[in-house]
Chain A
Amino acid sequence: AQSVTQPDIHITVSEGASLELRCNYSYGATPYLFWYVQSPGQGLQLLLKYFSGDTLVQGIKGFEAEFKRSQSSFNLRKPSVHWSDAAEYFCAVGARNNNDMRFGAGTRLTVKP
């Protein structure tokens, strides 16, 4: 069965600094990988997804993620963080036919002024 590990429960960065959120997955076949963002009291919004092809994928709000098969990782990055990026970030792995998606426990991002 697929699973996702997000090693960092909480990360604090200064506004304007770069950001990297870690994600490791376990899946027996080719994974479909996703990053979602959740603001307090809200649902999840899709930031980006990876299925195949170029291992560096671009998403919304200036985010990107890199798939590294050898490390079973799919880390999320942003070159310069804005205060509005403060939220909870979830990495997820899904199957080819999107039967169900498994989420990590999330990383809470705090942005210092």
Chain B
Amino acid sequence: EPEVTQTPSHQVTQMGQEVILRCVPISNHLYFYWYRQILGQKVEFLVSFYNNEISEKSEIFDDQFSVERPDGSNFTLKIRSTKLEDSAMYFCASSGGSPLHFGNGTRLTVT
């Protein structure tokens, strides 16, 4: 069965550094998403992306975040200047309509 693939599985970075989280969505899907889960908290929506533009974003998705689909297969989340509170599991998801299919996540640890 097709899967959403995320790399790396774990990323450790220092506060203030930039990180790029990478995702390969399911190949025929057109809708792409990023969600995150801070330890012990709910899974929270960050952003959705369709037709090469952001279709919806949450309050969490401020100017330090950006998304890109640099080619036909990858979907990336960039955090420009990481803060301690950005430490979380980041999940990429894709959809051909509904439901969303999630990757296994990237654990981001900001020290």
* Chain A partners chain B: no
